[in-house]
A and B are shown apart, each in its own frame.
Chain A
Amino acid sequence: MAVLVLLDHDGVAIRQPSRAAVTAAAALGEVHVLLAGEGLAALAATAARIAGVARVLVADAPVLAHLSAEPLAALMVRLSERYSHLLAPATTLGKNVMPRLAACLDVQSLSDVCGIVGPDTFLRPIYAGNAIAKVQSPQPRQVLTVRAASFEPAAPEGGAASLEVVSTEGLPHPARFVGAEKSGGARPDLTAARVVVAGGRGMGSRESFSLLEKVADQLLAAVGASRAAVDAGFVPNDYQVGQTGKIVAPELYIGVGISGAIQHLAGMKDSKVIVAINKDEDAPIFQVADYGLVADLFAVLPELEAELAKS
């Protein structure tokens, strides 16, 4: 049987974690993807080019414009009979929709799958990633969200999938969208960036994050933050890295003024190379860092920017 992947997108682009979910799905069967939303003509063509995708199901309707859980789960229930597995990336979209879908199907979903052992056996982190559970799911249908950092994203080009329009008639939409505050901007997406530069409470203020941004500019990096930095209002919520924020695994992660609480480490300890900059030599982040600088960040950041500009 084929496998269905719910694509996460912002109406303009397909988010990279969706392509990681395609890779996970390819280990389970023929991959179909579901593109839901409103005004999808251009995105459908983009989805059809993702390597490894055999079919794109397009559900284009105003009720799906905000990708709310109620209509999306109802739609996926209708499609579920054709599929052995229903997957989504473990983004806020996938986390919102998939458990609702699973309950409608009377199955227990698995969240944040980080490894596929077999068609019904999966690995997932528990306790903020301090333990890994190998879980078998003897259920007729599997509903999963997939941790993007654990799967190489499928190539955006190379596929030639067929398109199928699916009916959106009669979908429920009890919730009314009022508005959004989206950060956007020119920086690469945190979960997809090759380099992440993150600041913590040690940054001290919103203004001093500009020191970090200048370093990020040099490295074409995404900017992240600890929860303490978000709570203090230095940066918006979507910068948060960790157990309750985003999971990142870039080539290079630079943590600045971050102590390294387990909830923060949960979100970045799978990065390939970790650099920590902290004035406290006993900060726990040094225990996972490949390179550490025990120094005042206000001295280091301008120097780092200048040094990077040189090379």
Chain B
Amino acid sequence: MKILVPVKRVVDYNVKIRVRADGSGVETKGVKMSMNPFDENAIEEAVRLKEEGVASEVVAVSIGLAACAETLRTALAIGADRAILVETDVALQPLAVAKLLAALARREEAGLVIAGKQAIDDDMNATGQMLAALLDWPQATFASKIAIAGGEATVTREVDDGLETFVLPLPAVVTADLRLNEPRYASLPNIMKARKKPIATLTPAELGVDPAPRLKVLEVTEPAHRQAGRKLKTVAELVAALRDEARVI
């Protein structure tokens, strides 16, 4: 079984982002970029399934600028076998990404797609679900555990009131939550090996998809800032302030 793992190049999660003064967006020039954290969990899980002998091949896919090749190299260093870059400079939204991934999943005859649950730049939490819809495959989002056997995936999902487990017939789409696993650090030899692994480049046109955005971003602004308040000395002072000043208890 082949596993497809979409990985997104995003602003590193440690970067304190800056909103451009003209309201046109968030500054990404000269900012450290990394693989979306949830996608690290997704790649890690796929590589483990290959190590267990459940998967035959792990294919990483990134869609966007040519620089996404760096993100793919990271995926290859973690253990993906090969990578596909769908190169475009269009501003991508989940529906377009899902259409491109659906075309690739069909072309590759993937048995499982493991995506991240959410990209930490657009925070959409949508691509995996959209992909499952387009392929008419079952989905299990927010996975914290995946087991594959007998053509089925047993997936535990993190939901608002706890955990839920479902069995999905394959092929299926699963989206990874952070507690799915602890992603490994790529070792130096594996980073070297990754340089020799193939990255194929395609365009949206070659996949027959128009990636044009559906949503128009009119303006990006900073949220209201909170002022730091005051430090109090004692618990009694705190309780008094909450009772008499803030009036919340």
Contact = CB atoms under 8 A, between A and B. Distances in A.
Interface of A: 8, 10, 15, 66, 68-70, 73, 91-93, 95-104, 106-112, 121, 124-139, 174-184, 191, 195, 219, 227, 230-231, 236-238, 243-244, 246, 251-252, 262-263, 269, 272-275, 281, 286-294, 300, 303-304, 307-308, 311
Contact of B218 (A121, A181, A236): A121
Contacts of B124: 99, 111
Interface of B: 11, 13, 16-17, 19, 26, 93-95, 98, 117-118, 120-127, 129-134, 138-142, 144, 154, 157-169, 177-179, 213-223, 226, 228-232, 235-236, 238-239, 241-243, 246, 248-249
A95 B125 contact: yes
B218 A136 contact: yes
Given A96-B141, A272-B248, A288 B120 contact: no
A178 B166 CA distance: 5
Contacts of A231: 178-179
Nearest to B118: A244
Contacts of B218: 121, 134-136
Given A102-B126, A103-B133, A134-B221, A108 B229 contact: no
A243 B129 contact: no
19 contacts: A8-B160, A10-B161, A99-B130, A108-B215, A109-B94, A126-B121, A131-B17, A132-B223, A135-B215, A175-B168, A176-B166, A180-B163, A181-B162, A182-B162, A231-B178, A231-B179, A262-B16, A281-B231, A291-B238
B132 to A, nearest CB: 6
Contacts of B238: 275, 291, 293, 304
Nearest to B123: A126
Given A100-B139, A252-B242, A126 B122 contact: yes
A130 B17 contact: yes
A221 to B, nearest CB: 10
Contacts of B154: 178
Contact of B235 (A110, A111, A304): A304
Contacts of B139: 69-70, 96, 100, 175
Contacts of B217: 133-135
Given A100-B130, A251-B248, A290-B229, A110 B215 contact: yes
A289 B19 CA distance: 23
Q: B179, B214, B215, B221 — which one has the most chain A CB atoms within 10 A of its CB?
A: B215
B212 to A, nearest CB: 11
Nearest to B117: A244
B160 A291 contact: no
Contacts of A133: 217, 219-220
A92 B159 contact: yes
Given A95-B129, A112-B123, 11 more contacts: A96-B142, A103-B130, A131-B19, A132-B223, A134-B219, A178-B167, A180-B162, A182-B163, A286-B228, A292-B230, A304-B235
Contacts of A293: 231-232, 235, 238
Nearest to B38: A244
